[in-house]
Chain A
Amino acid sequence: MLEAVDLAAVRGDRRLFSGIGFSLRQGELLHVTGVNGSGKTTLLRMLCGLVVPEAGDVLWEGKNIRAEREAYLRNLLYLGHLGALKDDLTGIENLRVAETLAGEPISERQALDALQGVGLNGHEDLPVRVLSQGQRRRVALARLALSRARLWILDEPFTALDKSSVDALRTRLEGHLNQGGMVILTTHQEIEIDAAVMKQVALG
């Protein structure tokens, strides 16, 4: 279970948000909404432990994520709006490096299957540099199929995807929720995700 208690963020002199609190249990989805610049990305980065909260705590299974860093990070998959892909590496290499860093090394075969799962057949051996924006996004999203993390934090995962990829991602998210996973995401698109419990946090 992930809990946020009375979180506040300050950027420069400006207070982005304060008093944000929620709890997220197995199979629940949290949708973070807000206009541009309201601090959605900051909140997500804060939940990952990348940004130190101005006030408040983030708790994983009742313990502060700073104290239980390793246990928390093993259960966390964060995909930011930057793709976290190396331009000069191929899709397979990118996935294998990312998964090794996440503590779950995978074989070339598994990486290939994951890429084919997001419809990138025939593009596995190309450096990511030559792929289109949507294809790069799909390489990044292929990690969802490989990860064993229970909590997914996704920053604008639907951007740049075509219709069929949006549907595939939605199915993937629903599958994760059905298996008792947790999802936190931001999106500007109107997307119906079939979750047992769907929570919202509105910023700004």
Chain B
Amino acid sequence: MLSVLLCMMRRDLVLAVRRMSDVLTTLFFFIIVVSLFPLGIGPEVEILRLIAPGVVWVAAILASMLALGRLFEGDYRDGTLEQMLLAPQPLSVLVLGKVLAHWAVSGLPLVLMAPLLGLQFGMTAEGLGVLLVSLVLGTPAISLIGAVGAALTLGVRGGGVLVSLLVLPLYIPVLIFGAGAVEASVTGLGAEAHLSLLGAILALALCFAPWATAAALRISLD
């Protein structure tokens, strides 16, 4: 079972490396959106520091939406998704492998870039650290939840817009606790509570999202 999971991850990572442009568009979208805010608002450090966590988090969510369409679309078009459904192993395991690879190429680069972007907002070292941790916990959850939406809208005309409408509301808890964690630590309340809740969301998503995604894929391919 582990071997198919790793095989799936390796395949998607190899494909991503051979199509670097897809990975880079997501990353640059994130960088540009975040950078637009200090330019638009001006150099008042107090205001920038206040909005920084929210801006970074919203930009990360939008950037991940951008990559979501590619998650199953290619496999659907060339027929490899059909073969995944016909694998004797549980489909949810294959889905988990795909989502983890997807996170590694669309989520992880954002996480690594975020502290650098936070500097533009005059964030403190402590704030940057909490932002990083919150993104490490939150972005995999975003990929997992997004996968359900991507699977449901597979092959639907105008699926890209539809998936945003379906999935963005589900991201609200992640956004609230993610951005809230940074705010809480800056105001001295401590980020532990928020980060624990983010961890809980991630754990729940890890348990249920692959399974729901697998069910959605079966429906989409019927």
Which residues on A sit within 8 Å (CB–CB) of B86? 48-50, 73, 76, 78, 102
Q: Say how far A173's CB is from chain B's closest CB, in angstroms.
A: 20
Closest partner residue, chain B, to A140 (CB atom): B79
B34 on interface, CB distance cutoff 8 Å: no
Closest partner residue, chain A, to B85 (CB atom): A50
A81-116 vs B, Cβ < 8 Å mask (1 yes, 0 no):
011111111000100011011110100000000000
The contact of A89 among B11, B79, B94, by CB within 8 Å, is B11
A50 to B85, CA, bound (A): 8
Contact A50 B221, beta carbon cutoff 8 Å: yes
- Work out how many contacts link A and B, with CB atoms closer than 8 A: 75
Contact A50 B19, CB 8 Å, known A74-B88, A101-B87, A103-B89:
no
Q: How many residues of B contact A (CB 8 A)?
A: 25
Which residues on A sit within 8 Å (CB–CB) of B18? 88, 127
Contact B19 A100, beta carbon cutoff 8 Å: no
Contact A103 B87, beta carbon cutoff 8 Å: yes
A80 to B81, CA, bound (A): 11
The contact of A86 among B3, B80, B222, by CB within 8 Å, is B80
Closest partner residue, chain B, to A99 (CB atom): B7
Q: Is the interface of A mostly helix, strand, loop or mixed?
A: loop
B78 on interface, CB distance cutoff 8 Å: yes
B205 on interface, CB distance cutoff 8 Å: no
A161 on interface, CB distance cutoff 8 Å: no
Contact A89 B14, beta carbon cutoff 8 Å: yes
Q: How many residues of A contact B (CB 8 A)?
A: 29
A70 on interface, CB distance cutoff 8 Å: yes
Contact B15 A70, beta carbon cutoff 8 Å: no
Contact A70 B78, beta carbon cutoff 8 Å: no
Which residues on A sit within 8 Å (CB–CB) of B15? 86, 88-89
Closest partner residue, chain B, to A70 (CB atom): B88
Closest partner residue, chain A, to B19 (CB atom): A88
B positions within 8 Å CB-CB of A: 3-4, 7-8, 11, 14-15, 18-19, 74, 77-80, 82-89, 94, 221-222
A positions within 8 Å CB-CB of B: 48-52, 69-70, 73-74, 76, 78, 80, 82-89, 93, 97-98, 100-103, 105, 127
